[in-house]
A and B are shown apart, each in its own frame.
Chain A
């Protein structure tokens, strides 16, 4: 069983640029969530996708957007990058959108904004 994978592993961008991060969910999982983890902090929920529709959003501005594809993989797009966007971005999948189900995390993408 393949776990959650993310690409790229590391990324360096400059302020004002746009970035796309990718995530492949674990086999059999139809729900994907994205989290931002700043250095020394706990992950913060960005949004969740279930069957290609956004299914909940955290306190992040509209320049953070996402997609989920028919194979349940997902993208996180961030426009007009700011220095504070530097963080580890974590993708997590779960077998369904129930609060009882744990989420399985990928290794993350480390984004540095200069």
Chain B
């Protein structure tokens, strides 16, 4: 079945540092890929998405490129801020089996310090 693997956290960075959170996936067909962010005590917010190979999703300075050859969708940001501290989830939406069920990774906690 479909699965998503993320790097384990917590990841602790200083403000203005470069961020990479690795995400790889296993899926049949050609899934859509997503990054969601969860702030403490809240639900999930969509951060960015990509629906086909070589697509780059971007939002709020975050970027991720859909790499079919390496089955990866790594999240990057050039300069993180304290306000980026949250848990980040990589997810895929399969095209098989009907519907658009999301399969999530276990999440990566990011802590940004001054």
A residues near B (Cβ < 8 Å) are 4, 31, 33, 35, 40-45, 48, 50, 55-56, 58, 90, 92, 94, 97-108
Contacts and interface: CB of A to CB of B under 8 A. Distances in A.
B28 to A, nearest CB: 12
A94 B94 CA distance: 15
A58 B103 CA distance: 10
Nearest to A98: B100
A105 to B, nearest CB: 4
Contacts of B4: 42
A102 B97 contact: no
B44 A100 contact: no
B87 to A, nearest CB: 9
Nearest to B90: A42
**Top 6 closest A-B pairs, CB basis?**
A42-B104, A56-B99, A105-B44, A105-B43, A99-B93, A107-B43
Contact of A48 (B36, B95, B99): B99
Contacts of B97: 56
A43 B101 contact: no
A58 B102 CA distance: 10
Interface stretch (B45-53, B66-74, B78-86): B45-53
Contacts of A42: 4, 89, 91, 104-107
Nearest to A104: B46
B34 interface: yes
A99 B105 contact: no
